[in-house]
Structure formats: C-alpha cells, structure tokens
Chain A
Amino acid sequence: GAGVSQSPSNKVTEKGKDVELRCDPISGHTALYWYRQSLGQGLEFLIYFQGNSAPDKSGLPSDRFSAERTGGSVSTLTIQRTQQEDSAVYLCASSLMTGRRNTEAFFGQGTRLTVV
C-alpha cells in the first residue's frame, strides 16, 4: 500500500504477556517514529529511527520496551511483561529526511493495545 501500515490494529493481551507491534513505513522513508497516545495524555514520543539506527531512545518508558528496525524498513516495537498502564494507542510514522531537514511525517492508523 501507499501509506504507513500498522499491525495488528487491535490487540488485547493479559497482564504479564509480551506483545509485538509492527510498522511498515512508506517505501523509501528513512525516518521512522513510534509514539504512544493515551486518553487525555496527548502524543508521547517513544523512539526514533534514522535508517536502522536509533539516535533517540529517550522516550521509552522502561526497559520492558524495545524496538528494532531491520533493512531500513519494517520496525517492531516489543513490550515485555505488559502492565495495565501500557494500554494505549501506539502510533508509527515515517518521513523522508533530506539532509537534516524534516519533511512531512505520515502516520499509520495505530495499534490499540488493551492489557487486561
């Protein structure tokens, strides 16, 4: 497809289980971002990739959260031992970097994670 694709669109998991969220960015986009959107909390930055490397991991809330990107394309966000406070919509976005200038970021539809 032409846009950013995230899977699954919805995920319900039991507390303590691990989950993997996937993001397929727009082909050719070198920058990839993960954000978390909680009710009433706005947009929380998690991690940013430039190619396969992550120059900014400052937003990851704890060591239970990790992310990787392979081949400069698909990215996976993993949450280990999920907790109820991890429940949120996880958004992925990608953009085409021109030098160090940002171009428009395109967002996926998000993965709604519910931890029960």
Chain B
Amino acid sequence: AQRVTQPEKLLSVFKGAPVELKCNYSYSGSPELFWYVQYSRQRLQLLLRHISRESIKGFTADLNKGETSFHLKKPFAQEEDSAMYYCARGGSQGNLIFGKGTKLSVKP
C-alpha cells in the first residue's frame, strides 16, 4: 500500500531553534511529494513541493530516496510557524495521499 508516515503528532520548539518535521513514504518509483500547512482558522494550503526545490517561508525539504524520506526543515523557527503540517505524496492512480499530520508549536 502507498503510505505516508509522519511519526510525530506534536512537535514543540522554542523560537529561534531549528525544526525538523519528519516524513517517510512507501517506495513506489519516483512519487511526487508535497508539504501542506494549515494555520489556525485557515484553509489547508500547499507549502512546497519537491520538484520545485524551493524555499518557502524559510522552509526546505530534501528528498532522500535511499531513506524514502522528505523531511521539512527550518533553521530558525518563528512563532508564526505554529500550525498543522501534512506531508503528501502522489498516488499511482493520480490521487493524493496524506500523512496524519504533525502539529508544530513554537513557543516564545
């Protein structure tokens, strides 16, 4: 089965500390991988995708095919980064498969 695993339900860090949200996916060729974010009282929205190799709001995500991981990283967390983060992959039937999500809490 095609799966996305986010092992941490909750991650709490202090402002200015580095943050890494973990994501592992089941192997199936070369899947498309995404990170979505949901801020309080806002819609779920795309944060970044691996094919773009971009940095959004200071976040980056590196695809490691050997470890089948796509961890999301930011060197210095800000309070406004507090949100729910979801890792997702494209499925073989064109669908989108999401992980269960990690709630990031950045304390002042």
Q: Which residues of A contact B (CB under 8 A)?
A: 31, 33, 35, 40-43, 45, 48, 50, 55-56, 91, 93, 95, 97, 100-102, 104-110
Contacts and interface: CB of A to CB of B under 8 A. Distances in A.
A31 B94 contact: yes
Contacts of B97: 45
Nearest to A33: B96
A105 B101 contact: no
A107 B91 contact: no
Interface range on chain B (Cβ under 8 Å from partner):
20 to 34
Contacts of A97: 94
A43 B101 contact: yes
Contacts of A33: 95-96
A60 to B, nearest CB: 13
Contacts of B34: 102, 104
Contacts of B44: 43, 91, 93, 107
Interface string B79-105: 000000010101101111111110000
Query: Which 9 A/B pairs are nearest by Cβ-Cβ distance?
Result: A42-B100, A42-B101, A48-B95, A107-B44, A102-B90, A43-B98, A55-B93, A104-B46, A107-B43
B49 interface: yes
A95 B96 contact: yes
Contacts of A95: 96
A109 B45 CA distance: 11
A45 B90 contact: no
B101 A100 contact: no
B62 interface: no
Contacts of A35: 98
A110 B41 CA distance: 11
